[in-house]
């Protein structure tokens, strides 16, 4: 998906306006160094933009349940996984609504054995593949990753998948269907899993299932736009 100079300029201006409205002048100034650091660190990857689902390709009946595309912040991703006792080197990370693959890249940095991105938009999925291939090509051993271009509610959970990541990718209806699929997978192969949910606007869906909350980050520890806070769960 081509991002023109005009698109980039419009995105930057929209970010400035949104930041001023939400954080105020001083808060926006304090946030700027983090944003500049992130842009420089990941300058070789295309994670940019905030895209309405109806501006993407894909089935209309899927778009109506989807949230806008926006890349996960590296800072908040690290906060979520900080101090978690989890065997990354033996674990398979699944990102539902992976977008352009930002969280997959961060998960690779944590040392996950395998990375899977599930994305309904072929445009975003293709960009995620390009981004992951860029870093894989630089490694002595190729990164074990897979981008699955499908409706998340139809995705069959692999028996080895045990870490499930959601950055508010869709509404409660699809989230419930995904949770049903996760627990169908557990019925076939019982195992320890964790569920990470950033901007957890529909956490009541997850909490209907036999899970235990093991970590919580309130909005004040995240960005002001993550009204749902962030939660980490494990199965009981």
Residue 198, pLDDT score: 97
Please give the residue that has the higher pLDDT: either 127 or 225.
127
Residue 42, pLDDT score: 64
**Predicted confidence band at 39 (pLDDT cuts at 50, 70, 90)?**
low
Phi-psi region of 174 (alpha: psi -120 to 50; beta: other; left: phi over 0): alpha
Instruction: In whole angstroms, give the CA distance from residue 26 to residue 101.
Output: 31
Tens digits of residue pLDDT in 54-109:
999 999 999 999 999 999 988 889 999 998 999 999 999 999 999 999 999 999 99
**Mean pLDDT score across all residues of the chain:** 89
Residue 124 has pLDDT above 50, yes or no: yes
Q: In terms of Cα–Cα distance, which of 215, 221, 176, 177 is closest to 194?
A: 215
Please give the residue that has the higher pLDDT: either 1 or 38.
38
Do residues 124 and 56 make contact, with C-beta atoms less than 8 angstroms apart? yes
**Predicted confidence band at 199 (pLDDT cuts at 50, 70, 90)?**
very high
CATH number for the region 69-235 comes to 3.40.50.150
Tokens in use for 112? 């996950």
When pLDDT is averaged across residues 11-23 and rounded to a whole number, the result is 65
Question: In whole angstroms, how far apart are CA 6 and each of 3, 18, 52, 57, 99?
Answer: 8, 18, 17, 21, 21
Domain ranges of the chain: 69-235
């Amino acid at each position: 998906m081509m991002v023109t100079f005009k698109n980039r300029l419009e995105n930057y201006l929209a970010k400035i306006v949104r930041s001023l409205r939400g954080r105020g002048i001083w808060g926006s100034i304090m946030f700027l160094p983090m944003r500049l650091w992130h842009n420089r660190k990941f300058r070789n990857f295309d994670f940019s933009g905030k895209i309405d689902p109806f501006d993407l390709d894909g089935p209309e009946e899927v778009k109506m349940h989807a949230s806008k595309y926006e890349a996960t912040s590296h800072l908040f991703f690290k906060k979520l996984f900080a101090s978690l006792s989890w065997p990354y080197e033996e674990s398979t990370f699944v990102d539902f609504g992976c977008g352009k693959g930002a969280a997959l890249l961060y998960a690779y940095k944590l040392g996950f054995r395998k990375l899977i991105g599930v994305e309904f938009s072929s445009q975003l999925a293709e960009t995620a593949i390009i981004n992951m291939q860029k870093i894989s090509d630089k490694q002595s051993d190729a990164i074990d990753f897979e981008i699955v271009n499908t409706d998340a509610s139809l995705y069959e959970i692999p028996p080895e998948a045990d870490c499930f990541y959601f950055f508010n990718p869709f509404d409660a209806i699809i989230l419930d269907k995904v949770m049903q699929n996760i627990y169908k997978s557990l019925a076939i192969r019982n195992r320890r899993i964790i569920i990470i949910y950033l901007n957890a606007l529909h956490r009541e869906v997850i909490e209907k299932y036999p899970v235990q909350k093991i970590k919580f980050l309130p909005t004040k520890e995240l960005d002001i736009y993550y009204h749902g806070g962030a939660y980490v769960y494990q199965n009981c």
